Amino acid sequence: MYWNSDIREAGGDRDAVTGGTRILSDWIIVRITCNEGESFLDQMISMVEGAKRQKTPNEIALSILLAAMTIIFLLVCVSLIPFSIFSVDSFNGKRRQIAFGKCPFVSLAEAREMKFQARKLLAQGFDPVENRRQTKLDNQISSENNFEAIAKHWHENKKHTWEPKHTENILKRLETYMFPIIGRKAIC
């Protein structure tokens, strides 16, 4: 390398370029005398990159802890679904199951409370599956948005435009054929 004499090494009198080198003139000429990848710095970088070292005890312990926590997480995720299903021996000897909801939407505390209520119903002599079905049915019946309520409202609004005999026939047909089948269905 060729250095102009106007370069001063930081903290010394030799002509070399290091961190903190001050250039005293307005130009510098540098001649590189080694091939690309063969410099001391390139050799040091390749040596550090290729170095294999043993893991420290803390790194080993952390790897074991992460593996154990991953296994526990997977076991918990897999076992949550069976915990949310409650098996019931019904009164006619058949085994039935009640699902209390999906995991993210029903907390574990809520599922436990629903299971407790189901056991309470069993102890009182009621079938929890039938009770749940009847509760859903009652909610649909009491709803103002079921087919029967909407059809009766429609009939009430239209009857003044029809003949009395036609009005009576439509209501009878609805009550005979439609309301028993889809009258309680909720209409959104």
pLDDT digits (tens, 9 = 90+) for 7-20: 555 555 555 555 55
- Say what the pTM is: 0.32
Residue where the block lists tokens 């390139």:
42
Residue bearing the bigger pLDDT, 174 or 15: 174
Cβ contact 155:168 at 8 Å: no
pLDDT value for 5: 46
Residue bearing the bigger pLDDT, 46 or 23: 46
Averaged over 52-62, what is the pLDDT? Answer: 88
pLDDT tier at 124, thresholds 50, 70, 90: confident
pLDDT value for 91: 55
Q: How many CA atoms lie within 13 A of 113 on its CB side?
A: 5
